[in-house]
Amino acid sequence: MTSTFSEESFGEEKRSLNFIETIIEEDIANRKNEARVHTRFPPEPNGYLHIGHAKSICLNFGMAEKYQGKCNLRFDDTNPEKEETEYVESIMDDVRWLGFQWDKEPYYASDYFEQLFEWAVLLIKKGLAYVDDQSQEVISQQRGTPTRPGIESPYRNRSVEENLDLFMRMKNGEFPNGSRVLRAKIDMSSPNMHMRDPVMYRILHAEHHRTDNTWKIYPMYDYAHGQSDYLEGITHSLCTLEFEVHRPLYDWFLDQIIETSYRPRQIEFARLNLSYTVMSKRKLLELVKNGHVNGWDDPRMPTIAGLRRRGYTPASIRAFADRIGVAKRDNVIDVGLLEFTVREDLNKIAPRVMAVLDPLKVVITNYPTGKIEYVELENNPEDPQSGTRNLAFGRELYIERDDFMVDPPSKYFRLAPGKEVRLKGAYVVRCESFETDTDGTVQTVFCTYDEETKSGTGPKQPKVKGTLHWVEASTAIDAEIRLYDRLFMDEDPAGHKDRDPLEFLNPDSLKIITGKLEPSLAGVVPDEKFQFQRIGYFCVDKDSKAGALVFNRTVLLKDNWAKQSGK
RNA sequence: UGCCCGAUGGUGUAAUUGGCAACACGUCUGACUCUGGAUCAGAAGAGUUCAGGUUCGACCCCUGAUCGGGCAACCA
């Protein structure tokens, strides 16, 4: 094994290789395929990319980066009935957003239709492919079952001439959909179902998003994928485990056409599963179509577009992909790990601001009426470069309703009658009294402040247990805050036989409230990210406008008090 | 009663290719803190699915079993 490429630069922790890196390094050491590394990310443009695809993207582009190779973006568009340009666009957006750059232009399997067709003709001439006139049902029956061998089609031994003629006429559109297929002649009794004379081409009179109506026949995945890899010079074709049984077929087709020593190799890894969510395109599409979420980029969706709108950063997703690793065993990653990686990134980069989501009025009774002063606050204690800002302080403020209790337990470090807290960046205040409405809900809390405790400059700096965030009432601005929670209440919503994942939908996955924010936020634009001090990370939604701000909650801060008091 | 994969703390991923298991998240302590965040220090938690075998020595090799996943679209 060469260690040339496994050495990490100084400061980075040195990690052991995953099984794919091990294979690649062996191949490089053996100078297989001239020691080139060329991968590809091959999505079908029939839906939006999700976090599982992000794993594949990071893997494929990551291997290319690590071994100074290349990675193609290739749209696997062999089924005109499901594929749309909208998806092509979104996929390119997502890959770019994650920070990867594909080699040259995006490729399309449809670019190879002509070549694929010629190779099909070649297979017919070699006696390795034939036109079958039977119906889908009959062909399916003849295929047998996993435990019973199939039987051969009566059309299996047609002459090359007849096959050629029929295949041409299929191509020319002379036959209706479903009337004939081209099949590879392999082995109807193979224990591997995929080798039982698989279909190579079907007749589809459908408009293709790129080739329009030129083609009346379309190649199947198995017939197109390996050859596409070959045409692009791919060396390591990484795909998920369910394609493992396809590998003999991948190799079989390549065997028939390859004349060089170069050959791509398919390697399978386990797809990502995330707890408390669903990951199949079909189920995600259902969520969108049935209106359980507001589109593919709804911040509750595990799509890349959804995560982006939720406030996740590319760095956090790449860090996530990094930590989950790559292996062949089935896995379910705790969604908490994803949340950890965003917090980790946002903690470093998100400016801190004051925002009160459930406001409770506080009156500082000994503070002059009408006076406003400005206190200085750090923008981000984690980032010394981020500077400070001035924030209005006055007699009437809002604090979080959770931060006051009439009759608190002993470990409660916040405001309560007779207790003192620090208002972050301002003064220490003491709660003298409070006022409730008729049903006992606290309406206003009355405090006194000590002018000498002013943050930083005051002569008295008493140690107080609690520090609260706050906003000054007359200058605070309102904003719509969208509080997102997990979409499903079950850890594995799709993992129950006889139960629809929709049964586990979380009815409280979105709550919309109006919060009070510090005025410096008036000019924010979509995608800006902040830490609402002591609450969590929030980002500006694309629906946000000046005067009608909208924030999405990305993730809460870790909250040991909630954990402790919840028990 | 087929074929192909896989099985290591709660969750993931490792173990210099045979020298008695490490890292991350999570959990729990404690310190620090003008964010009950972050940071720092520490702890608990698996003896590697099971049973045999080879070996001085097995997570690693062999045999068998068990459990889990995948395969019967003219989907990818």
Q: Tens digit of pLDDT for each residue in A181-190? A: 999 999 999 9
- Which of residues 177-196 of A have CB within 7 Å of strand B? 177-181, 191-194
- Could you tell me how far CA A214 lies from the centroid of its own chain? 35
**Per-residue pLDDT, A16:** 87
What is the model's pLDDT at position A567?
55
A452 is catalytic: no
Least confident of A281-285, A352-356, A480-484: A281-285
Question: What pTM did the predictor assign?
Answer: 0.95
pLDDT average, residue stretch A221-229? 98
**What does the alpha-carbon distance between residue A312 and residue A177 come to, in Å, rounded to a whole number?**
45
Bases of strand B lying below 7 A from some protein CB: 1-8, 10-15, 17, 24-28, 34-39, 68-76
- Inform me whether the pLDDT recorded for A409 exceeds 60: yes
Between strands A38-41 and A70-75, the pairing is parallel
pLDDT of A289 above 90 = yes
Q: Give yes or no: A196 in active site.
A: no
- Which of A91-100, A248-257, A425-434, A455-464 has the lowest average pLDDT? A455-464
For position A49, what pLDDT does the model report? 98
The region of weakest confidence among A128-137, A270-279, A492-501 is: A492-501
Q: What is the mean pLDDT of residues A145-152?
A: 95
pLDDT level of residue A499 (50, 70, 90 thresholds): confident
> Using CA atoms, how far apart are residues A567 and A565, in angstroms rounded to an integer?
5
Instruction: Band the pLDDT of A214: cuts 50, 70, 90.
Output: very high
Record the tokens describing residue A214, joined without a space: 């030129």
**ipTM score assigned to the predicted complex:** 0.96
Please tell me whether any atom of strand B lies within 7 Å of the Cβ of A448: no
Work out the percent of chain A whose per-residue pLDDT is above 70: 97
Q: How confident is the model at residue A354 (pLDDT cuts 50, 70, 90)?
A: very high
Confirm whether any atom of chain B, the nucleic acid strand, is less than 7 Å from CB of A328: yes
The answer to whether A324 CB is within 7 Å of strand B is: yes
Q: Give me the catalytic one of A44, A84, A244, A432.
A: A44
Count each helix (H run) and each strand (E run) in chain A, helices first.
13, 25
Residue located via tokens 């019973």: A148
pLDDT band at A14 (very low <50, low <70, confident <90, very high): low
Q: How far apart are CA A78 and CA A224, in angstroms?
A: 8
Nucleotide nearest to A247 (CA to C1'): B4
Note the CA–C1' distance, A230 to B61, in angstroms.
36
A72 strand-pairing partners: A40
User: Residue A336, CB, less than 7 Å from strand B?
Assistant: yes
Is A44 noted as a catalytic residue in this protein? yes
Instruction: Find the mean pLDDT for residues A475-482.
Output: 98
Q: Which helix (H) or strand (E) holds A355?
A: strand A355-356
Q: Which A residues between 504 and 533 have a beta carbon under 7 A from any strand B atom?
A: 531, 533
* pLDDT confidence band for A9 (50 / 70 / 90): very low
pLDDT in tens, A337-349: 999 999 999 999 9
Q: How far is the CA of A194 from the C1' of B72 (A)?
A: 9
Distance A248 CA to B17 C1' (A): 28
Is the pLDDT assigned to residue A240 strictly greater than 70? Answer: yes
CA separation for the pair A91, A38 (Å, rounded): 20
Which of A281, A300, A422, A534 is an active site residue?
A281
Statement: residue A92 has pLDDT above 50:
yes
Across A126-135, average pLDDT: 98
Q: pLDDT tens for residues A68-77? A: 999 999 999 9
Q: Strand, helix or coil at A164?
A: helix
Q: Work out the pLDDT band at A1, boundaries 50, 70, 90.
A: very low
- Cα–Cα nearest to A246, from A263, A221, A229, A228: A221
Query: Can you give the distance from the CA of residue A19 to the C1' of nucleotide B7 in angstroms?
Result: 16
Asked if pLDDT for residue A527 goes beyond 80, the answer is: yes
A348 sits within 7 Å of strand B by its CB? no
- Whether A244 sits with its Cβ under 7 A from any strand B atom: the answer reads yes
A423 CA – B30 C1', rounded, Å: 27
Catalytic residue from among A271, A361, A389, A486: A271
Confidence grade of residue A86 (pLDDT, cut at 50, 70, 90): very high
Q: Does the C-beta of A199 come within 7 A of strand B?
A: yes
Q: Is the CB of A347 under 7 A from strand B?
A: yes
Distance A218 CA to B26 C1' (A): 49
**What mean pLDDT is predicted for residues A388-408?**
97
Is A91's pLDDT higher than 70? yes
Residue-by-residue DSSP string for A461-528? ----S-EE-EEETTT-EEEEEEEE--SBSSSSTT--TT--GGGGB-TTSEEEEEEEE-GGGGG--TT-
